[in-house]
A = this chain, B = another copy of it.
Amino acid sequence: MTLNAVPQSMHFDAPLALQSGASMAGYDLAYETYGRLNADRSNAVLVCHALNASHHVAGVYEGQPGSEGWWDTMIGPGKPLDTERFFVIGVNNLGSCFGSTGPMHANPATGRPWGADFPVVTVEDWVDAQARLLDALGIASLAAVMGGSLGGMQALSWTLQYPRRVRHAAVIASAPNLTAENIAFNEVARRAIVTDPDFHGGHFYRHGVVPKRGLRIARMIGHITYLSDDVMNEKFGRQLRDGIDLRYTTQDIEFQIESYLRYQGDKFSEYFDANTYLLITRALDYFDPARAHGGSLAKALATATADFLLVSFTTDWRFPPARSREIAKALLDNRRRVSYAEIDAPHGHDAFLLEDARYLAVVRAYFDRIAAEFSA
Contact = CB atoms under 8 A, between A and B. Distances in A.
A110 interface: no
A181 B178 CA distance: 21
Given A180-B233, A232-B181, A233-B180, A190 B220 contact: no
Nearest to A250: B278
A150 to B, nearest CB: 15
A194 B251 CA distance: 7
Interface stretch (A44-52, A72-80, A254-262): A254-262
A285 B255 contact: yes
A248 B119 CA distance: 8
Interface in A174-194: 177-181, 183-185, 187-188, 190-192, 194
Given A120-B248, A224-B184, A238-B183, A265 B191 contact: yes
Q: Is the interface of A mostly helix, strand, loop or mixed?
A: helix
Nearest to A244: B291
A104 to B, nearest CB: 15
Interface string A241-256: 0000010111100110
A92 to B, nearest CB: 19
Interface in A97-137: 116, 119-120
A375 interface: no
A285 B254 CA distance: 10
Nearest to A178: B238
A262 B183 contact: no
A12 interface: no
B233 A179 contact: yes
A288 interface: yes
Identical chains bound together, number: 2
- Among A183, A237, A262, A288, the one with the most B-chain Cβ atoms within 10 Å of its Cβ is A183
A224 B185 contact: yes
A342 interface: no
A203 to B, nearest CB: 13
B251 A180 contact: no
17 contacts: A120-B248, A120-B249, A179-B229, A179-B232, A179-B233, A179-B237, A180-B238, A184-B257, A184-B258, A187-B261, A188-B217, A188-B220, A191-B216, A246-B286, A248-B286, A250-B279, A250-B281
Nearest to A121: B248
Given A120-B250, A238-B177, A288-B238, A224 B278 contact: no
